[in-house]
Structure 1
Amino acid sequence: MLLTVLVLAGLAGPLLSFGARGLVPAVIGELIAGFVLGRTGFGVIDPSLQPLPAFSALGFAMLMLSAGTHVDIGSPAIRQGLIRGLLAFVIVALCAVPLGFGIDRALGINHPALLAVLIAGSSAAVAFPILAERGLTGPHLALLVAWIALADSATVVVMPLTLTQPHDIAIAIAGDVAIVAGGALVLAAALRARRERVVGDLRAQSLTRGWAWQLRISLLLLLGLSATAERTGASTLVAGFLAGMIIVRLREPDRLALQITGVANGFFVPLFFVLLGAQINLRALVESPSRIVLAVALACAAVIAHVVAARFSARERRVATGLTASAQLGMPAAAASLGLATHALSAADAAALVAAGCLTLIPATVGSLLLTRDLARANPPKAAGQTAG
């Protein structure tokens, strides 16, 4: 019965997004459903009740895997915009440090490094679907794509360290190194195995007989890296993201991408956001004016830092590029989830981080609309009957 309620709650996301004509990401509706059914609202869902923590952990890993599949380090768009994207990320990081430390000192959060990382971050899992929905593709977006990919990859590694106790940081870094090394070995072995005839025959049999072999291997990769992360003191966030990058690097057929999307976005990721919403107590945020200020200040700082970075790195459409790159939600949600699990963040702090991530979606949506308008003006459709020459 409980799972039925959770799946029904997850439907709130697509329904809200559909009603808003795609302007509101589905995760907003899922979070709202969690707020209503969880600690903020009626208390129908207890996120600590077994087996919900296991489902939440799987959803978190699948969320990061989905984010990782949006970061193809070998794609022409990322390679083409790598230098300017790196410049943009460096500038936004330089802006984020004083902003994060300033907000922390003013409000007494005691997590300045976390705030700086969140300000500097971008969310490929949020921004790239927004670009795709608007039909924004092509070489003119090379800077934006590379920038978001670099920021997402860097913050995935650094953010969990900001919530780690100082005496455990060395262990966490060693765990991250072990995860990356293990992922590299898996990628090398997979690329070598693909050349073997028996593997080709197995893939062909899987296609004709419906075994979903590649999906099973992908899930095994995700769970294996996540288990390694748990054993070594690393973060599941890094493991899931790396698994997604490996899968997209293997250039698997679109069928696998659809299968992963179905498993992730059809069940586990909505479940994670509903349970996260149920875990967060918005009443603690409302009762703490300083944390409301934190949410607004964090969102504004992220937008300012990204627009400034775009001003110095982009050649055109600077404001629109910066606004779009400021899209966040996955990383603040991940920080809230990790912070609550490790008791590094209070209920009000976690709620403020999620609220800040939601607020950044407003300027990001505006930025994507500005990009769509500017590109439409720059490339007007040809009149009917017009031919070249």
Structure 2
Amino acid sequence: MSFFQLSLIAAVALLGPVLAFPRKWHLPMVLGQLLAGIAIGRTGLGLVDSADPTFTFVAEVGFALIMFVAGTHVPVRDRAIRPALGGGALRAAIAGALAAGVGTAIAFAFGTGHAPLYIVLLASSAAALFLPIVDSLRLTGPKVLTTTAQVAVADIACIVALPLAVDPPNAARAALGAAAVAACSVVLFFVLRWLEVSGTRGRVHDVSEERKFALELRIQLALLFALSGLAVAGHVSVMLAGFSFGLVVAAVGEPRRLAHQLFAVSDGFLGPVFFVWLGSSLDLRALAGTPGMVLLGICLGVGTLLVHGSLRVLGQPLPLAVLSASQLGVPVAAATIGSQLDLLEPGEASALILGALITIGAGAAAGSRAARAFAPNAPAPAG
């Protein structure tokens, strides 16, 4: 990877803001960045190599930071989240039960024997997509809060369950890795909470602001990368490390100055690099020679939308239900792990990504609908 390629990546990532600029379209920036990656990657012009170790590592750093920022956006300290958490967890559980039936049926129909994997995919949500869309479109209200809780619960559960579903023989190792990350996150919460209550964090903040040291950002990034390293060593996705640490920081209380600094690092550089890398890694041409896998990808995408859209009967507005079905990290991790371990059928990895793209497209359209109903000054939704 060269500086010219990095310049190209940063330049094409501007397609995200370009598509999101017209307010009447209500499109998230993520969509444009993914399309840009597809255009210059394996599916399109081949100007960048998604397998390049440097590109891959920088993208993984960006993914960890995206998940961290997503975790900090969960309103853990908001009292309204407590009743919303119960409703969100219930919806996530119902979606999981529905996914069990649909995922088993899809695995049986295509004869892949990967029912556990499909169940996790169908039940998953992507906080890394949902929360930035909610934030960029300024969606508010109790129903949005409940859906946020649902997405957070589903994301954490599926991140933990994915290694167990993809590679059952090594499930114990992955479970230990997830437990280690969770335990360290709990320890970090108590340490950071003590620093906050004792006033130590405040004194460090004052010195850092006066002397322009950016100490809080440096410390948070060091802790995030250490936790991500633990996740990788434990054969767990950095998704879990980033999101868990983000929840810890949200629970302790994120300083406003740190939030601005993280926005600059994540949304200004590393986040767009990750989304462009993700788009560039997709080889949609590989599906052309395997029509059965094209159908599998369509079934996975439509099945996910049906599973989450079915929650409309519980009173969840359909745009939010469809938006919660948007997938990102779990399908990508499933395709990566499955390909590395040679556990998937030819073309199946691309089918997983195709299914995710279907949910992302539907989620973008649903976000546009939701913006009209749940954004500030929008008319009250009918249901």
TM-score in terms of structure 2 length:
0.88
Distance in 1 between residues matched to 2:171 and 2:221, nearest whole Å = 28
Aligned to 1:322: 321
Aligned to 2:205: 203
Do residues 117 (structure 1) and 116 (structure 2) align?
A: no
Aligned to 2:29: 26
Deviation at 1:263, TM superposition (A): 1.0
Deviation at 1:320, TM superposition (A): 3.8
Farther-moved stretch of structure 1 (182-191 vs 8-17): 8-17
Deviation at 1:178, TM superposition (A): 0.9
Deviation at 1:379, TM superposition (A): 8.1
Do residues 65 (structure 1) and 68 (structure 2) align?
A: yes
- Tell me which amino acid in the other structure corresponds to 2:310: V
Deviation at 1:347, TM superposition (A): 7.2
Deviation at 1:242, TM superposition (A): 1.0
Do residues 182 (structure 1) and 181 (structure 2) align?
A: no
- Tell me which amino acid in the other structure corresponds to 2:232: E
Aligned to 2:246: 244
Distance in 1 between residues matched to 2:14 and 2:379, nearest whole Å = 37
Question: C-alpha offsets along residues 96-151 of structure 1, whole Å, 9 cap, x if unaligned?
Answer: 01111211222234432221112112223322333344443133434323222221
Distance in 1 between residues matched to 2:365 and 2:16, nearest whole Å = 20
SS class of match (2:80)? helix
- Tell me which amino acid in the other structure corresponds to 1:248: A
Deviation at 1:345, TM superposition (A): 4.3
Aligned to 1:256: 258
Report if the CA contact (8 A) 1:47-1:278 is conserved: yes
Question: C-alpha offsets along residues 170-214 of structure 1, whole Å, 9 cap, x if unaligned?
Answer: 011011111111111111011112234554322101112221111
Distance in 1 between residues matched to 2:240 and 2:115, nearest whole Å = 21
Instruction: Mark the CA change 1:371 to 1:19 in structure 2 (over 3 Å): closer, same or farther.
Output: closer
Report if the CA contact (8 A) 2:112-2:345 is conserved: no
Question: C-alpha offsets along residues 298-327 of structure 1, whole Å, 9 cap, x if unaligned?
Answer: 12111211222331x32xx54344223223
Report if the CA contact (8 A) 1:89-1:309 is conserved: no
- Tell me which amino acid in the other structure corresponds to 1:203: H
Aligned to 1:17: 20
Residue segments in structure 2 that go unaligned for 5+ positions in a row: none
Distance in 2 between residues matched to 1:256 and 1:83, nearest whole Å = 30
Report if the CA contact (8 A) 1:123-1:152 is conserved: yes
Residue segments in structure 1 that go unaligned for 5+ positions in a row: 381-389
Question: C-alpha offsets along residues 193-250 of structure 1, whole Å, 9 cap, x if unaligned?
Answer: 2234554322101112221111111111111111112223333221121121112122
Instruction: Mark the CA change 1:248 to 1:23 in structure 2 (over 3 Å): closer, same or farther.
Output: same
Instruction: Mark the CA change 1:365 to 1:247 in structure 2 (over 3 Å): closer, same or farther.
Output: same
SS class of match (2:21)? helix
Report if the CA contact (8 A) 1:340-1:347 is conserved: no
How many residues are aligned here? 376
Farther-moved stretch of structure 1 (371-380 vs 7-16): 371-380
Question: C-alpha offsets along residues 70-112 of structure 1, whole Å, 9 cap, x if unaligned?
Answer: 3344433321222322221121111101111211222234432
Distance in 1 between residues matched to 2:175 and 2:183, nearest whole Å = 12
SS class of match (2:295)? helix
Do residues 350 (structure 1) and 353 (structure 2) align?
A: no
Percent of pairs with identical residues: 33
Deviation at 1:13, TM superposition (A): 2.2
Report if the CA contact (8 A) 1:214-1:256 is conserved: yes
Distance in 2 between residues matched to 1:347 and 1:256, nearest whole Å = 45
Report if the CA contact (8 A) 2:31-2:364 is conserved: no
Deviation at 1:365, TM superposition (A): 4.3
Distance in 1 between residues matched to 2:244 and 2:26, nearest whole Å = 29
Question: C-alpha offsets along residues 318-373 of structure 1, whole Å, 9 cap, x if unaligned?
Answer: 43442232233343334334444554446733332233222223443454455555
SS class of match (2:45)? coil
Instruction: Mark the CA change 1:202 to 1:373 in structure 2 (over 3 Å): closer, same or farther.
Output: closer
- Tell me which amino acid in the other structure corresponds to 2:61: L
Aligned to 1:163: 166
Question: C-alpha offsets along residues 43-63 of structure 1, whole Å, 9 cap, x if unaligned?
Answer: 221223342232122122223
Instruction: Mark the CA change 1:38 to 1:127 in structure 2 (over 3 Å): closer, same or farther.
Output: closer
Deviation at 1:267, TM superposition (A): 1.5
Equivalent of 1:77, from 80, 96, 114? 80
Larger Cα Rg: Structure 1 or Structure 2?
1
Query: What's the C-alpha RMSD, in Å, of the aligned pairs?
Result: 2.6
Distance in 2 between residues matched to 1:84 and 1:341, nearest whole Å = 37
Report if the CA contact (8 A) 1:77-1:141 is conserved: no
Equivalent of 2:276, from 270, 274, 280? 274
Q: Counterparts in 2 of 1:270-349, with a 5 A limit?
A: 270-311=272-313, 313-314=314-315, 318-345=317-344, 348-349=347-348
Report if the CA contact (8 A) 2:60-2:274 is conserved: yes
Farther-moved stretch of structure 1 (13-22 vs 286-295): 13-22
TM-score in terms of structure 1 length:
0.87
Distance in 2 between residues matched to 1:78 and 1:245, nearest whole Å = 13
